[in-house]
Chains A and B, each alone.
Chain A
Amino acid sequence: MSALGERERSGFMGMVRLMSVPGAPYLVWDAEAAARGEPEAQVALREARRVVVEAIAGGETVVQIGPDQVSSRVEDFDPEAGLLVLLPRIAGG
């Protein structure tokens, strides 16, 4: 398992899956480290916040996957949200 997976399982990592971006990458951040003032974590958190806020402002749909694995739309960035997903566009067939 990758380092990302190990850290995520520890339960303090925030993630946003950018499904609308080529390669559908993840952005990850350590909210606790950012809160402790660790510079690298703060930079990561700021970048994730920027991406999510700009996506929402641009009309894209961002959802949070709750502990019951049911998603709900979010209108702002919450670093403690856990897993966020920037949804891809849907094309009618």
Chain B
Amino acid sequence: MAEMASSGDMEDDAREDPAAPDPAAEERRATYFAEQALSEQTREHLRRTGFVVVASRSVPERRYVLPKDGGFTWLYQGGALVALLCGQAVGDLSPTEALIALKLWIEADEEEFLQKVNTFSLDSASSPILRVLAALAPPPEVLA
């Protein structure tokens, strides 16, 4: 067998019930994975703003803005908010790891990512509730 390391194996297992969730170990695991999957610049941006910005590989000026605590992915084109995307990574993942999973998806297969999420385009025909949600978009400096 390949060496399999769960969050419990990777860290100190000296707990009363090894099967019980260990938030501290899960947080360390998420931090470790973030260090592997996100650049220092991206991690600093995440700490400062609460968002990760992913540049599209297929469409210039397209940016995906991922919130650290889940919720909508905000899609910008040329600096303008054009759509809200609703989709979450499925599984036993912390919010940070779920965010990273979405980032990896967008980078690796943007087309498939867009097929999997629900897209709510913002235009003149948008529903009032979408326009209200759009008002909650991240501030422009997040894209900087």
Residues on A lying within 8 angstroms of B by beta carbon are 2, 4-5, 17, 19-29, 43-48, 51, 61, 63, 65, 68-73, 83, 85, 87-93
Contacts and interface: CB of A to CB of B under 8 A. Distances in A.
Given A88-B90, A89-B89, A70 B105 contact: no
Contacts of B118: 92-93
Interface stretch (B5-13, B124-132, B134-142): B5-13
A92 B11 CA distance: 33
Contacts of B4: 25-27
B4 to A, nearest CB: 5
B122 interface: no
Contacts, number: 126
A92 B92 contact: no
B33 A29 contact: no
A85 B104 contact: yes
A64 B91 CA distance: 20
A19 B6 CA distance: 11
Contacts of A92: 86-87, 116-118
